[in-house]
Amino acid sequence: MVENLCVFDKLNCEPEIMSEALPTPTLENVGERGESWKAPFTNITILFKHRFLVRNLVRKEIRGRYRNAMLGYAWTVLEPAMLASVYYFLFIMLAGNPDKMYPVWVILGVIVWSCFGKALQATVASLSRNGQTIHLVYFPRIIFPMTAMQGNIIISMMSCLVVIPIILLYNLPITIYLLYVPLSIFMAGFLAIGLGMLVAPLNCVQRDVEHLFRFIVRAGFFLSPVMWTYEMALERGAFGEMVLYNPMVVPLTMARHGIAGESLGIPLAGILGSLGFGIVMWVLGSYVFNRYEAGAVKHL
Amino acid sequence: MTENAVEINNVTLHFPKQRNALKMLINLIWRKKERFTALRNVSLTIKKGEVLGIIGKNGSGKSTLLRIISGIYPADEGNCKAAGSISLLAGLGTGFSGHQTGRENAILYGSILGHDEEVMVSKLPEIIQFSELGNFIEEPVRTYSSGMKARLGLAVASAIHPDILLIDEVLGVGDPQFKEKSKKRILDLVKSTGTVVLVSHSFGLMKEICDRLVFIHKGQIIGVGKPEEMIKLYYSTTGEE
């Protein structure tokens, strides 16, 4: 009898003990980072693994942008629209351009460029600005530039809602090419993050990097087709081909052709060059970030 | 059980010294490295189920050692191994974003500390209740007093039960009533968690709950042993008041 009871007891207990003892932790190195050359791939799996954290950090990023503002998210649309009206007057005064679509080109230019510019500045400063969190807990730090970029992509997507009144106002056709508009935002964000990851560790050591990039974004605004278009450059002959060395020409032109319902109209070499630049920067940036991030945060 | 929860082998950690651009350039050319050694050849083994205290003067490397264990700083030399999930309680509520509500911040802070969505959703009512914030939980955190922020931080941080718990001087936030309550909560957490490493300046508490004490001075371990002996050693090394 007694023996029988014991057996029963064992049977009853065993599954519970098993479940308690199953995750017997073994000694492992703490804060283990993957090999740097794998980083361009592992970055994506990290993002998926920590998606709950990423979602919360992105939400924080977006909420922080328009805090205490009565109009709130309306500013995502208002800002490029107001900027476009200023440039419209400026341009008419200087060049007397009669193109009635010009304000639309500028609005889209400003939206795509600010996605790139803000994402770039945010990723460059992503480590130095999160010093407090970095000192509190360890998780893969690639999450900081990633969330900075994602937040800016989402805000720019909201800005894109401005195309709806534009389409109604200008009686534009609704075509499949309209998908170019969100695609150009993604491309702008992708071009920004590689570059941002590349210098984010350096920015922890010397904040000069941050100031330099603020200048780069401001200068790039004029050097890229934001206030002007790729077509305007083409009219100037050789200048049009030179312009294609700027990887941002492709997303900027893509958004404009998307709303006009036209194909891209850029030579294939230009498109491949721009995409190639983004991929090379992603690989290089991932490697450098993974390799130097740990040493850099000691400077924070 | 005689298994080890944490093994620190000959860890040395340097911090770079911040210098202006000219000095940095000169150092770069002469391949000279100006640095501050925060930990020098530190070796320590922490057994499973042990409550270990770390004492030492300000700036002796106590917090840095906890950051080594939690993986925030990788060691320049040596290595650190740990078994199981680690959670560091320090600087409660520093990751809060002021314009989000207390509830949103609780979830954000929980996810920063590495918890899954299911865990946070199931723990949230208990966290809100413990923080005693009442209706304030739906208000933006920027409207909170510093005590309220600390309470919310403690409520979130202490709601989870890691395998290894690291505590860096988080006792004593809020008003006297909450101080008592938080002390009890942390002691409960210490009891229910297998392995605890505690940094504190309140020697009375350390004597009460720690199995062993480690005395760190200027980045080196001077002694490991019984709490009374280590506190005596602390005073004989650093000088009595």
Please name the residue of chain A whose CA is at the shortest distance from the CA of residue B116: A52
Q: Tell me the three state secondary structure of residue A266.
A: coil
Could you tell me if residue A27 is inside a domain?
no
CA dist., res. B227 & res. A255, Å (int): 68
Nearest to B232 by CA among B55, B15, B27: B55
- Could you tell me whether strands B220-225 and B212-217 are parallel, antiparallel, or unpaired per DSSP bridges? antiparallel
Rounded mean pLDDT, B183-197: 83
Least CB-CB distance to A137: which of B68, B82, B112? B112
pLDDT score recorded for residue B173: 61
Segment B80-107, tens digit of pLDDT: 999 888 888 887 767 788 888 999 999 9
Domain carrying residue A249: 37-299
> Could you tell me if residue A16 is inside a domain?
no
Q: Which residues of B touch A63 (CB under 8 A)?
A: 97, 99-100
Assigned domain for A20 exists: no
pLDDT at A3: 42
The average confidence (pLDDT) of chain A is: 86
Answer whether residue A150 shows pLDDT above 90: yes
Residue A12 lies in a domain: no
Q: Is the pLDDT of residue A17 over 60?
A: no
Nearest in space to B110 (alpha carbons), one of B153, B151, B147:
B153
Residue A23 lies in a domain: no
> For the packed helices A39-49 and A143-159, what is the interaxial angle rounded to 10 degrees?
70
Which is higher by pLDDT, B172 or A237? A237
Structure ipTM: 0.87
Number of folded domains in chain A? 1
Summarised one tens digit per residue, pLDDT across range A81-136 is 888 888 778 877 777 766 788 888 988 999 999 999 999 999 999 999 998 889 88
> Residue A145 falls within a domain, yes or no?
yes
Q: DSSP 3-state helix, strand, coil percentages of chain A (rounded to 5)? A: 80, 0, 20
Nearest CA in chain A to B78: A29
Put simply, the answer to whether B114 touches A137 (Cβ < 8 Å) is yes
More confident residue, A171 or A64: A171
Residues A230-236 have a mean pLDDT of 87
Average pLDDT over residues A50-63: 91
Residue B4: how many other CB atoms lie within 10 Å: 16
What pLDDT is stored for residue A9 in this prediction? 43
What distance in Å separates the CA atoms of residue A125 and residue A203, rounded to the nearest whole number? Answer: 7
Q: Which residues contact A19 (CB under 8 A, 6 or more apart)?
A: none
Q: Is the pLDDT of residue A257 over 90?
A: yes
- Residue-wise over A179-210: b if at least 16 C-beta within 10 A, else e? ebbbebbebbbbbbbbbbbbbbbbbbbbeebb
pLDDT above 90 for B162? no
Largest CA distance in chain A: 104
Across the interface, do B69 and A30 touch by the CB < 8 Å criterion?
A: yes
Residue ranges covered by each domain of chain B: 4-85+200-238, 93-161
Q: Within an 8 Å CB–CB cutoff, is residue B82 touching chain A?
A: yes
Q: B217: buried, middle or exposed (CB in 10 Å: 19+, 13-18, 0-12)?
A: middle
Rounded to the nearest 5 percent, the helix, strand and coil shares of chain B are 40, 25, 30
Closest residue of chain B to A138, computed from CA coordinates: B72
Average pLDDT, chain B: 85
Give the pLDDT of residue A148.
Answer: 94
| Contact indicator for A200, A134 with CB cutoff of 8 Å | no
| pLDDT at residue A125, as a whole number | 95
Tokens of B185: 């909560």
**pLDDT-derived band at B19, boundaries 50, 70, 90:** low
Highest mean pLDDT out of A61-75, B9-23, B62-76, B226-240: B62-76
What is the fold, at CATH topology level, of the domain defined by B4-85+200-238?
Rossmann fold (3.40.50)
- Predicted local distance difference test score (pLDDT) of residue A22: 46
Distance between CA B179 and CA B185 in Å, rounded? 10
Instruction: List the Cα angle B99/B102/B107 in 5-degree steps.
Output: 105
Residue whose C-alpha is closest to residue B142's, from B91, B105, B92, B89: B105
Chosen from A24, A27, A29, A30 to mutate, greatest number of chain B CBs within 10 A: A30
Does the pLDDT of residue A2 top 50, yes or no?
no
Distance, in Å, from the CA atom of B36 to the CA atom of B15, rounded to the nearest integer, reads 5
pLDDT given for residue A27 in this prediction: 84
